[in-house]
Amino acid sequence: MEQRYSRESKCYKTARVFPPDVNNHNTLFGGKLMAYIDDIASIAATKHCRRSVVTASTDSVDFLHPIRPSDSVCLESFVTWTGRTSVEVFVKVIKEDLLSGDRKIAATSFLTFVALDENKKPVPVPKVVPETEEELKLFETAPHRAEMRKIRRDESKKFAGFLTVKHPWD
């Protein structure tokens, strides 16, 4: 079975915080950060699979510190774990005060992508091999997250069965 190192999928992106990107608190708009996260995570997943991938889920985005216009926002993503046809990607968001150099973890997120074949059907992915302490820790803790995801997915499907798709005005 083909395998790739976590480092082979690593991606980095650094951006400034411009006026159109902020909310009414003058901090980076959460939706903007989530778009950055999905974007960089999909690149890491594609680099690992060398296939077309689709986002199956985003576990959560934990916003730990606000990101201000005086900060840069730096994202790092890489594949942490693989199932049969899915990969888990971790995204670490670091904010850096550009004048003081102070750096903090501003947010973290785990996303799952599924590799698709030419007919848009899930297809097996290469295994991932962690090397660094951080990669190993994320790899070892992944089966628990995958289990939680499966429970949540089953619950979401059940819940969707109760919901209506009627127009609100009917």
**Can you give the binding site for ligand COA, defined by CB under 6 A?**
54-57, 83-86, 112, 114, 122, 149, 153
Considering the complex, state which of residue 95 and residue 149 has its C-beta at the smaller distance from ligand COA: 149
Shortest distance, position 91 Cβ to ligand COA, whole Å: 15
Q: Residue 19 gets which letter from DSSP?
A: G
Answer whether 149's CB lies under 8 Å from 57's CB: yes
Residue with tokens 């619950």, as numbered in its chain: 155
Considering the complex, state which of residue 55 and residue 72 has its C-beta at the smaller distance from ligand COA: 55
Q: What SS3 state is found at 122?
A: strand
HSE-CB at 6 with a 13 A cutoff on CA atoms is 22
Name 48's Cβ contacts closer than 8 Å, sequence gap at least 6.
Answer: 4, 8, 9, 79, 82, 87, 125, 126, 128
Q: Which two tokens stand for residue 20?
A: 């159109």
Considering the complex, state which of residue 16 and residue 150 has its C-beta at the smaller distance from ligand COA: 150
Answer whether 34's CB lies under 8 Å from 28's CB: no
Nearest-CB residue for ligand COA:
83
Shortest distance, position 142 Cβ to ligand COA, whole Å: 11
Residue with tokens 């992508």, as numbered in its chain: 113
Strands (E), 32-166: 52-63, 71-82, 86-97, 103-116, 127-129
Considering the complex, state which of residue 16 and residue 152 has its C-beta at the smaller distance from ligand COA: 152
Shortest distance, position 58 Cβ to ligand COA, whole Å: 9
Shortest distance, position 94 Cβ to ligand COA, whole Å: 26
Considering the complex, state which of residue 55 and residue 108 has its C-beta at the smaller distance from ligand COA: 55
Shortest distance, position 72 Cβ to ligand COA, whole Å: 27
